[in-house]
Amino acid sequence: MVQSLLENSGYSIKRPKVAISACLLGEEVRYDGDHKKNEFLVQHLEPHVDWVPICPEVEMGMGIPREPIEIRQKDDGVRLVGRNSEKDWSATSLEKSEELCNLLKKERISGAIFKSKSPSCGLKQVPRFGEDGVELSSGAGLFSQYFRNTFPYLPIIQEDEVEADDLRQHWLMRVFAVHRLRLLLASPWTLEDFKAFHQREAFLLLAHNRHAAAHLEEIFVKIPATKRPEFAGTYVLGFLKIISKPPARRRIAEALRRLSACLSMTAEDELSDLELSISRFQRREIPISRPLQLISDIADKGRIESILSQSFLNPFPKDLLKTSNSPL
């Protein structure tokens, strides 16, 4: 994952590329010849990303329509087999998973959305059956497991999780953060480029983990920029690790208060309204968009560029931020 980001010469697209199960876009590639078009993804997210549709089972040569497949727990491990024919697709699945992931590396994707419960694409709760057909456990689909091992810090989500505000918005934040990293690394960079990037991401990192953010900043001193691969690799990995877990609400509130402290020249009544808004957000009474908008308005009025440039204020396109009590 980190290496694929570092090998990013020429990346200049304006929108992040996102791998997606093709059936979610309305392509009739499911085993029954149908689709699972997701209207939210098509109507709301499509204007902001470039899709890279995939269907592992079609790539495996299974045809449309086709026999349903399922994951079986056998003595020699987990196998992907035809539900009725018992045909073993495991080796083909592994081969095509590798091919697809190599393709997605070349596409320079910034995230992925996969079909839930699919024995190929599901991220979790995909049934695993015994020889007698009884469900023994559940886990990830075979392709999604290979994908996650290949891209361990790439943001990935199932389409049923998109309905949950907090999961969707954290995934969106990560997708657009990876995209910004790709843009940074697309051309020959300098230490000053990385410092400027880090400064713009400072409060986003702070909202996730203050101590890890401070540790990340130390590499500007510890690793000379002359050691380009080591410096960039260490920074990118540290950055991706910090944003990989959803931030706690108290940490977000702390970042909001630190950001408001940069508005010291602001009128007292505006700062009072801002503190009230942050407190209400911390109590889950209002979404984060409210205090963020107040900070943006105050900074815009005072033309405080150091605040206006913070990705924390606009981690992804605003029209994707539904009204909710989600932290991000």
On the question of pLDDT at 13 being above 80, the answer is: no
Number of Cβ atoms within 10 Å of the Cβ of 185: 21
Confidence of residue 9 (pLDDT cuts 50, 70, 90): low
Question: Is this structure's pTM higher than 0.85?
Answer: yes
Query: Residue 12: its pLDDT value, please?
Result: 65
- List the one residue out of 153, 224, 184, 176 whose CA is nearest residue 48: 176
Q: Tell me: the pLDDT tens digits for 225-272?
A: 668 888 999 999 999 999 999 999 999 999 999 999 988 777 788 889
Query: Residue 303: its pLDDT value, please?
Result: 87
**Domain ranges, ordered by start, for the chain:** 2-165, 177-243, 249-320
Query: Residue 10: its pLDDT value, please?
Result: 65
CA angle 104, 146, 208 (to 5 degrees): 80
CB 127 within 8 A of CB 70: yes
Query: Residue 323: its pLDDT value, please?
Result: 40
Q: Tell me: the pLDDT tens digits for 292-328?
A: 999 999 999 888 899 999 999 999 998 887 544 444 4
Give the pLDDT mean for 74-85. 90
Which contiguous run of DSSP H or E holds residue 91?
helix 90-107
What is the C-alpha to C-alpha distance for residues 60 and 52, in angstroms, rounded to an integer? 17
Contacts 24+ apart (CB under 8 A), 220-227: 220/191, 220/194, 220/195, 225/190, 225/191, 225/194
Give the pLDDT mean for 125-141. 92
On the question of pLDDT at 168 being above 50, the answer is: yes
**What are the angstrom distances between the C-alpha of 75 and each of 78, 79, 182?**
8, 10, 43
On the question of pLDDT at 152 being above 90, the answer is: yes
Residue with tokens 């149908």: 34
What is the C-alpha to C-alpha distance for residues 82 and 300, in angstroms, rounded to an integer? 60
What is the C-alpha to C-alpha distance for residues 155 and 232, in angstroms, rounded to an integer? 20
On the question of pLDDT at 132 being above 90, the answer is: no
Query: Residue 325: its pLDDT value, please?
Result: 43
